Amino acid sequence: QVQLVESGGGGLVQAGGSLRLSCALSGRTSSTSTVAWFRQPPGKEREFVAAIFRGGRSYHADSVKGRFTISRDNAKTTVFLQMNSLKPEDTALYFCALDNRLILSSLRVAADYDYWGQGTQVTVSS
């Protein structure tokens, strides 16, 4: 089994501010697991934010490119999402997701990830 626990959200951050989310990984993960961040704005569907594909290259959604950065610690136990220049439209429930056998074409497809965290709320005020 795999456990994912997000942290770093909660509270209110002003537009233009920064926040760093963390996702602690445990269980049956490996350095080649694909780990991603998704978000779900109020009343909308879950959308892809960023991912590290099979422990290698990182990918970011166009809407966050240049503002958000996904990274992983050397021990491969925590994945981060550094969020800078936050906008009100970044307000959402942010989820960490992991899959051990994901193919590249499924990178942005939430339904193709096997494991999910409980989510952490990010609220950006204007």
Instruction: Enumerate long-range contacts of 41-49, CB under 8 Å, 24 or more apart.
Output: 41/89, 41/91, 41/92, 42/91, 42/92, 46/95, 46/110, 47/110, 48/107, 48/108, 48/109, 48/110, 49/81, 49/94
SS3 at position 90: helix
pLDDT, one tens digit per residue, over 52-101 is 998 889 999 999 999 999 999 888 899 999 999 999 999 999 999 999 99
pLDDT, one tens digit per residue, over 8-57 is 998 899 999 999 999 999 998 888 899 999 999 999 999 999 999 988 89
Q: Are strands 78-83 and 19-27 parallel, antiparallel or unpaired?
A: antiparallel
Name the phi and psi angles at 89, rounded to 5: -70, -5
| Strand spans (E) along the chain | 2-7, 13-14, 19-27, 34-40, 47-52, 58-60, 68-72, 78-83, 92-99, 115-116, 120-122, 124-125
